[in-house]
Amino acid sequence: MYKIIFSDIDGTLLNSDRDISVSTIQQVDRLKEKTPFILVSARMPRQMYHLQERLNILGSPLIAFNGALITQDDKVIHSTEIPMEQIETLVDYNENTSEEKFHIGLFHNNEWYVETMDYWAKREMNNTKAKPEIMSNRDVVQKWKQEQKGAHKIMCMGSGETVEKAFQYLKENFNNSLHLYRSKDTYIEIANKEVSKLTGITKLLEHFYPKINLSEVVAFGDNYNDVEMVRAVGHGVAVKNARDEVKKVADAITNHHKENGVAKYLEKLF
């Protein structure tokens, strides 16, 4: 039988109000003593705490930034960063080469910096219930250099055309060292190439649940960054609204995320 559940958040676990439904809370409550329920997301940790709280699992470990960071109660269990040289190159490209400047969000653990409170920052804040700090990309680079750290995630957002050009530039220059996720044509999510949600799951199991095998894992997802995880675990489930690439590798397809797909499937599976 399956011993642990991992779920993506946006487009998978959340309902049409971008919240956790009552039926989802009930299913997680019913199962969590015997079968832990773990959030695995591209979000930063503090964008996930309010959801853990809703699910009554606050204090459980979580996987943030598509596997680049694993934390429990603010304690870092595992961390893989984007090196500073690559961040600087991207900032240089945006300021000196790109025809139209795009939004860059820089993330390290619970730090989130944006240059201005523009449309993209407000949208992300509205979606995730977390507020960024305002600081120029250059100043963040200098600050992090002094603190000897890199980024767990970089978000590039802007018009479809500008973001497409940035994507092509990044692919040509960093395809071997960076993961580039396009969840929308106006977004690029960037992480270290070494990480994925699957590496996050593997590291979390090693640390917290060494007796649980990957074959005993259930995972829910909807987007490109969920493909590897959904394919590799014992039982991978795609929501109805998932990308075709996720559905192709899934063992099962459940209802749409707006129809409580995760809750309905947990009720049936367990």
Tens digit of pLDDT for each residue in 216-253?
A: 999 999 999 999 999 999 999 999 999 999 999 999 99
pLDDT > 80? residue 91: yes
Domain count, the chain: 2
Q: In the prediction, which pLDDT does 164 show? A: 94
**Same domain, residue pair 73 and 49:** yes
- Domain at 108, CATH number: 3.30.1240.10
Same domain, 73 and 199: yes
CATH of the domain at 265: 3.40.50.1000
Q: Which domain holds residue 120?
A: 84-192
CA–CA separation, 47 and 41 (whole Å): 10
Helix (H), strand (E) at residue 200: helix 197-208
Q: Residue 2's pLDDT is what?
A: 97
User: Are 67 and 99 in a shared domain?
Assistant: no
Three-class SS state of 181 = strand
Cβ neighbour number for residue 101 with a 10 Å cutoff:
11
Tell me the percentage of the chain whose pLDDT exceeds 90. Answer: 93
- So what's the pLDDT on residue 181? 87
Per-residue pLDDT band for 182 (boundaries 50, 70, 90) equals confident
Q: Does 75 share its domain with 201?
A: yes
Residues 89 and 159 in one domain: yes
Boundary residue ending a domain (192, 219, 246): 192
Are 98 and 186 within one domain?
Answer: yes
Tokens 């958040």 sit at which residue? Answer: 9
Rama region for 234: left / alpha / beta (φ>0; ψ in -120 to 50; rest): alpha
Structure tokens at 151: 């980024």
